[in-house]
Structure 1
Amino acid sequence: MQAWVKRGAISGTVGALTLAMMALVAVSESQAEGLNYERLAGPSGVGTSLAVAKHTWGTNWPVVYVAANRNPVDALPAATIGDGPVVLTDGKQLNLGGVKPGHIVILGGPGAVPESIAQQARQTCGAENVERLAGSDRNATAQAIADRWIQVNGPTNRMYLTKNAGSGSPDAVAGSVLRDGPIITYTNEASISAAQQFVAMRMPASQPGGAQLVALGGPGAVPDAVLQTIANGAATQRFAGANRYLTALEIAKFAANDPARKVAYVASGTALKDAMVAGASKDGFILLTPPGGGGTFQQIVSMGANKIVFIGGEGVLPQSTLAMAAGVGLGADGPGNPHYITNNVGFKLEGLIRILSAKELIKMENHQYVPELSEVLAGYEYAVLILDEPAVFDISYASDIGPGAPTNPREADIVLLADTSDPKAVMESWRGYDGVRASVTFKPYSLFWPSDVSLPTTGAHSTGAYIDHGKG
């Protein structure tokens, strides 16, 4: 038995709805065409950090911060200082890529960066131009780095807080681009008390203009109680999303308030050291990409970036991931890519079927809900397929459906199956699958991009889809 669903060429919307929704989203030409991009990478984390340093600072390094490649947790707070690049060392050799910096700052104690590296640094630019920032543990080292931040940038009324366990917090790595305050860290009760004292001395809540402590990550990374304790009376804020990728996006949105920051630096969400060293850049913000690259290009476009710089080699960012995240989606193999969908053959897509209100769908697409739409959209519902993995659709617009029609390849992670402009029986046929993970089959030429601003604005729309129970 087959449950068939057919839709008209485009969702029916009243004029007021269409006009009001113009404020929600418009797919830019850059999304369709892709953005210029490049990769900065070396044969290891050390080489990649050098590539990033030279990209941002050329060969004129007033100061360079040297952190351990093995566990570069100290690189994160150092990048926020902003007066020089951060490079990594393997603990055996100080590799500065042939650059002779004016000053070298070793990050962490000898257990992190051995004394032999400090000796090589002194041979490079003289003992008087080498120093080590270190504390009794990584949290105390972060405080020493924060003091350096204040020395370079002056007193601050804003600090950032993250938990520093294991390899560091994945929620915080995008914070290395922040420039309006240092990053401090905690791990346990003792470090919470030390962080509280540090904030009270360096950023008292009573100072002119007030003070603010900002958590990087959700309550799972920095619990509310810990944030309030360390804030010691200062105001608090939080940059957080549902996962590390969305948290990075929230941090990027704040960093991009600086109009000079228009380059999207993209690092792997699982190889965090590349994001830590990328923070020393002056012209952009950091986003993390998941394996496969799905969803990253939409974030880049939403940020208004004019260029993409990928950080890391093939081992952490395979070419297929890079291509998807760059918006070209297909790489060299074009339609051979398993996530590439043309509109001239039938195919199946896996995902979760949901029945959503207009307000829920707008929220899912990360658009701002327009209050004036509440009356117009009251009772409006949508049957959608939320894909397990984003896919690149090479399909036409609503007005051009059919063989030979021009197509526009771009990525989407949601497909509209039906809405309340369809016959009631059509919507009801999908309602019974609400919350069910299923494989949905689409007929040839049954997918299109909406020509107006019909919801979902960023997703593909379907004219014919079914769940084939006979075929599984």
Structure 2
Amino acid sequence: MTVRTAVTGSLTAVALLAGALLAVPASAARADETPAPVDPGPVVMGDFPLQAYAAEAAEAPPELAEALRRDLGITPEQFYAQADAAATAVGVVDALEAAGTTVLGSRLEGTELVVSVPTEADASAVEQAGAIAEVGEQPAAPGEPGEQPGTPGAPARQRVDLPDAELLRDLVGGQGYYDHKGVYDYFCSVGFNGVDTATGAAQFLTAGHCVTPGAAYGGRVFSLEQQRPGQNPTVAGTHLGSPLSASLKFGDYYDTALYATAPAWTPVPAVGSWGGNQGSADAGQRATVRDYTRAVVNQSICKSGRKTGWTCGTVSAVDRASTIGTTDVNAFLSNVCALTGDSGGAVISGSYAVGVISFGDYKTGCGETGRTTGSFPIDSQFFESALDVQTSWEPLVSVSAPGSDTLLGGVPLYRGEAATGTVPGGGLRHTVHLSVDGGPERLIPVGADGRWSIPDAAGLGAGSHGVSLFTSYGAGLQRSPAVTGTVLVADRPAVDRLDGATRFDVAVAVADQAFPGTAPVVYVATGTNYPDALSAGPAAVAKGGPLLPVLPDSVPEVVAAKIAALKPARIVIVGGTDSVRDAVRAELQQLVPDARVDRLAGADRYAASRAVVADAFGSAPQAYVATGGGFADALSAGGAAGSKGQPVVLVNGPAAAADTPTLELFQTLKSTSLTVAGGRFSVSEGVLDSLSAGVPAAVTRVSGDDRYATSVALNADAFDEADTVYLATGLNFPDALAGGVLAGLQDAPLYVVPGDCVPRGVLAGIARLGADDVVLLGGTTALTPAVQQLAPCGF
């Protein structure tokens, strides 16, 4: 059985964190509809990688970071990771015991939970929960076992002897808050701001021994006007709070009290940092409070108090029955430095409230070693805690708005699938409120890791729906701002793949799909570079044949077999002899002896593009323009252009203006409307202006922030609906070149995507078009299984 130790010694008092406090939200409205709770799944330890806490650490008060470095030798990332690990560990141990596992004791080692159990069977349950099991009796704790409290199922209490411990209460002038009796002023520290869950009234938590019986002014306390920790006050402070007599409990293992916060103060969900112990309590950046948790052995904690300001340490024991003088107090013990005047001060772990300072044996300063401080816990599983007494109080916390990729991320929500999201810093005491199309609220429980979920797409029908979400905490008085948006509910499309071992195999697979029999023409271009072929896709669609890649000096066997099977009357080689040599031309002629083999080339890629377009299109009232300096924009334009029977003409994008041969080509084609694919870094404003004036033609630029957003914009501009959508990697060209012909023939859009996810705009576009099928062009090296699962990117 787990033993609980006790501390014995004598007592004195501690101080107040007279920081500004934040307004209490209005009473929460109750939801009209509450679905069956969603089981968040078993509580397991999981991983707490430091990189996941980089953003939170970047926002940590510098004063906190310095205290962690000075007192513990750890970083804010480690502090927040250990805090989450400790909070999760509490849930894991609770779940283990609820399931019948005998737990002898538990502690943290870094972010790993170590649980002591008596049997191998218990060890197996511990390991399944992601913790480390130690089999055997719990190591003996110092001191003699104490009396068992009258709590069914509670472990035995232990005692620890701490002869010089005292309640940290000061009878001289100081800082923090004070009450007055006779000729003395008594100093203490504010613990945590909070609210009365029944009335919404602002109340702060402190140590019970800080309430002076018979104090003047009805026990009201006043702020101490300090400019640094430990400084003696020189002027009287303002009214800070009035004691709530029913909340006071000191003795019988309790040390807790509440004060009604004076109206002049605005409570905030934060702990003052004392400007790195160089300023007042609210100087510098404050440490945010997001929730509360129980203390765990080896947990890193920090405290804020009026005498010693910010100090940090490590929990050495929890739920220790501590006799200070003649008074018994339950406490978790640590080496956090605290002196008289720090009593009642806030003890935090990461952004979790853990307890308030109660007693200790530091005497003169924080340089002393081997000292111990006891803190009264906010919560305890079996033993005395603040929440036992303050049953209608909860800490004031910063409540984050819910996030949801599936409801607010610009991606479709597929019918029959779960809507999911997270609440940053959220846990089991948080609830997400969802309203759809202005309807009644649905209450969604949040898991220990901040995740939430609604199965079966929240029962929404197909189409667009307005959604509004906010997070509440605890009793529901504390709420985040609401976040709103529109979600498109759609049926998940089927996903197929056209792939092959090489780019040549993929191109033939595409050609087999588009031309299972014969074709009147075949376009060929080098498969080792892109410029010559970018205009060839729409040309091939216009002439009714595939585009196939070849090597510079040979025709791959798989391509040769396909060309022979197609029996084209004409074969068009795109590019000069540097790209496709005459040996390839001869080989093609041998493959189809009756075919006419032509070469379309020019002095550069732009001349080759013009030659291809002039050969395939007698006229083109509408046409696309793309840079020849990259392939991504032209590839996305190719599918749209092919489906519309329009050419893609390559230009020198960075040039000051379009050259004369390009202007003359558009004049010959009688073009009156041009769509420029890509932003001004792809095609300059000078080129756009020269096309407008020199052709002349109406010129429209369609672009996005990157190649993927440009692809989305081009397809949104070109397509209102589509049964099939094609996806190809935007990091290479061969698959999209060949696939663009198939897309064009089927009046289907082709999107370029990263290799390991699908941009949110692409997913939204697929749903908007009502596509039933998505076809991936290329193997799993080009487009990973994540793309096949339509996993959204972070953008």
TM-score clears 0.5: yes
Question: Cα distance, 1:64 vs. partner?
Answer: 0.9
Q: CA RMSD in A?
A: 2.9
Q: Which residue of 1 aligns with 2:460?
A: none
- Structure 2 length normalisation: TM-score? 0.37
Contact 1:67 1:88 (C-alpha < 8 Å) held by counterparts: yes
Question: Secondary structure, in 3 states, of the residue corresponding to 2:434?
Answer: coil
Structure 1 residues 276, 12: closer, same or farther in 2, change over 3 A?
A: closer
Question: Cα distance, 1:212 vs. partner?
Answer: 1.1
Question: Cα distance, 1:75 vs. partner?
Answer: 2.3
Question: Cα distance, 1:12 vs. partner?
Answer: 8.8
Corresponding residue to 1:236 among 699, 702, 719: 699
Corresponding residue to 1:314 among 753, 777, 780: 780
Contact 2:465 2:487 (C-alpha < 8 Å) held by counterparts: no
Q: Which residue of 2 aligns with 1:253?
A: 716
Q: Which residue of 1 aligns with 2:635?
A: 173
C-alpha separation between the residues in 2 aligned to 1:61 and 1:128?
12
Q: Is residue 740 of structure 2 the alignment partner of residue 274 of structure 1?
A: no
Mapping of residues 110-125 of structure 1, within 5 Å: 110-125=577-592
Per-residue displacement from partner, 1:364-415 (whole Å, max 9, x unpaired)? Answer: xxxxxxxxxxxxxxxxxxxxxxxxx54xxxxxxxxxxxxxxxxxxxxxx7xx
| Structure 1, gaps ≥5 residues long | 205-210, 330-338, 340-388, 391-412, 414-472
Structure 1 residues 59, 73: closer, same or farther in 2, change over 3 A?
A: farther
Question: Cα distance, 1:24 vs. partner?
Answer: 5.2
Mapping of residues 433-452 of structure 1, within 5 Å: none
Contact 1:67 1:87 (C-alpha < 8 Å) held by counterparts: yes
Mapping of residues 176-187 of structure 1, within 5 Å: 176-177=638-639, 178=641, 179-187=644-652
**Which structure has the bigger radius of gyration?**
2
Corresponding residue to 2:752 among 280, 288, 297: 288
Mapping of residues 157-172 of structure 1, within 5 Å: 157-165=621-629, 168-172=630-634
More off after superposition, 292-301 vs 97-106: 292-301
**Structure 1: which 4+ aligned runs deviate by more than 4 Å?**
11-16, 19-25, 188-191
Structure 1 residues 10, 149: closer, same or farther in 2, change over 3 A?
A: same
Mapping of residues 33-432 of structure 1, within 5 Å: 35-81=493-539, 82=541, 83-94=544-555, 95-98=559-562, 99=565, 100-126=567-593, 129-151=596-618, 155-165=619-629, 168-177=630-639, 178=641, 179-187=644-652, 188=655, 192-203=659-670, 211-231=672-692, 232=694, 233-257=696-720, 261-281=722-742, 282-283=745-746, 284-295=748-759, 296-319=762-785, 321-325=786-790, 329=791, 390=794
Structure 1 residues 97, 12: closer, same or farther in 2, change over 3 A?
A: closer
C-alpha separation between the residues in 1 aligned to 2:538 and 2:706?
22
Structure 1 residues 15, 275: closer, same or farther in 2, change over 3 A?
A: same
Question: Cα distance, 1:225 vs. partner?
Answer: 1.8
Question: Cα distance, 1:305 vs. partner?
Answer: 1.2
Question: Cα distance, 1:172 vs. partner?
Answer: 2.0
C-alpha separation between the residues in 2 aligned to 1:142 and 1:13?
51
Question: Secondary structure, in 3 states, of the residue corresponding to 1:91?
Answer: coil
**Number of aligned pairs?**
312
Contact 1:292 1:324 (C-alpha < 8 Å) held by counterparts: no
Q: Is residue 434 of structure 2 the alignment partner of residue 10 of structure 1?
A: yes
Contact 1:161 1:216 (C-alpha < 8 Å) held by counterparts: yes
Amino acid at match of 2:735: D
Question: Cα distance, 1:14 vs. partner?
Answer: 5.2
More off after superposition, 282-291 vs 4-13: 4-13
Per-residue displacement from partner, 1:202-246 (whole Å, max 9, x unpaired)? Answer: 326xxxxxx012101111111222112134221111221121112
Structure 1 residues 190, 219: closer, same or farther in 2, change over 3 A?
A: closer
Contact 2:538 2:648 (C-alpha < 8 Å) held by counterparts: yes
Amino acid at match of 1:174: S
Contact 1:50 1:97 (C-alpha < 8 Å) held by counterparts: no
Contact 1:76 1:276 (C-alpha < 8 Å) held by counterparts: yes
Question: Cα distance, 1:169 vs. partner?
Answer: 3.3
Structure 1 residues 4, 21: closer, same or farther in 2, change over 3 A?
A: closer
Structure 1 residues 212, 322: closer, same or farther in 2, change over 3 A?
A: same
Per-residue displacement from partner, 1:106-132 (whole Å, max 9, x unpaired)? Answer: 001111111111111111223652111
Question: Cα distance, 1:189 vs. partner?
Answer: 6.0
Per-residue displacement from partner, 1:269-328 (whole Å, max 9, x unpaired)? Answer: 112221122111122210122232143434322332111110111221122x33332xxx
Question: Cα distance, 1:25 vs. partner?
Answer: 4.4
Contact 1:169 1:221 (C-alpha < 8 Å) held by counterparts: no
Per-residue displacement from partner, 1:342-366 (whole Å, max 9, x unpaired)? Answer: xxxxxxxxxxxxxxxxxxxxxxxxx
Structure 1 residues 324, 289: closer, same or farther in 2, change over 3 A?
A: farther
- Structure 1 length normalisation: TM-score? 0.60
Question: Cα distance, 1:138 vs. partner?
Answer: 0.8
Per-residue displacement from partner, 1:401-437 (whole Å, max 9, x unpaired)? Answer: xxxxxxxxxxxx7xxxxxxxxxxxxxxxxxxxxxxxx
Question: Cα distance, 1:7 vs. partner?
Answer: 4.7
Q: Which residue of 2 aligns with 1:417?
A: none
Q: Once the two structures are aligned, what percentage of the paired residues are identical?
A: 25
Question: Cα distance, 1:174 vs. partner?
Answer: 1.1
More off after superposition, 21-30 vs 113-122: 21-30
Q: Is residue 489 of structure 2 the alignment partner of residue 27 of structure 1?
A: yes
Contact 2:624 2:675 (C-alpha < 8 Å) held by counterparts: yes
Question: Cα distance, 1:27 vs. partner?
Answer: 0.8
C-alpha separation between the residues in 2 aligned to 1:122 and 1:280?
23
Contact 1:176 1:277 (C-alpha < 8 Å) held by counterparts: no
Contact 1:218 1:238 (C-alpha < 8 Å) held by counterparts: yes
Structure 1 residues 316, 24: closer, same or farther in 2, change over 3 A?
A: same
Question: Cα distance, 1:21 vs. partner?
Answer: 4.2
Question: Secondary structure, in 3 states, of the residue corresponding to 2:780?
Answer: coil
Contact 1:262 1:285 (C-alpha < 8 Å) held by counterparts: no
C-alpha separation between the residues in 1 aligned to 2:779 and 2:439?
50
Question: Secondary structure, in 3 states, of the residue corresponding to 2:587?
Answer: helix
Contact 1:103 1:129 (C-alpha < 8 Å) held by counterparts: yes
C-alpha separation between the residues in 2 aligned to 1:8 and 1:170?
41
C-alpha separation between the residues in 1 aligned to 2:698 and 2:601?
28
More off after superposition, 90-99 vs 2-11: 2-11
